Amino acid sequence: MADTASITRRAMLRAIPSVAAVVAVPACEAVAMAAEPEHRDAKVRRLAKELSAALDDYGDGRWSAEVYPASRGRDGKGALPVLLVDIEAAEEAQHFIRPELTALLDAHRNARTEITVAMQDVRTGTQFGISEAHTGMT
């Protein structure tokens, strides 16, 4: 009881500015960190992960998305910046396409994958490429 008796209102009022300073410094650092702009590559990856997670909950995970720059869109004019594709319907539609066209579509998809990997390699300065196992091509 003797320890708490020495605390007076005046002593508490004097201590408030130092407590406020201790709390304010970390808060200012957090605000400064939040104010730093997110790097565009990190932002795109973060948003892609968020979109991927959101698609799990959208239509029972049945949809995929193709995302284009808002300024161009799928049509090159700014329309349809996001195209949602029913995954199961697209897979079922494959059965109605002539086999030679299916082979061409598969080759196109493999070529797109290789181009994407090559562009990433050029951008990052790596030379990993993509193996035949990834494309299914021999």
The CA distance from 24 to 18, in Å, is: 10
Residue pLDDT, tens place only, 46-85:
999 999 999 999 988 999 998 888 888 777 787 778 889 9
130 CB contacts (<8 Å, ≥6 apart)? Answer: 113, 114, 117, 118
State if pTM tops 0.75.
Answer: no
CB–CB of 117/133 below 8 Å?
no
pLDDT (tens digit, 9 = 90+) per residue, 111-128?
A: 988 888 888 888 777 665
User: Cα separation of 106 and 110, whole Å?
Assistant: 6
What backbone torsions phi and psi does residue 112 show, to the nearest 5 degrees?
A: -60, -40
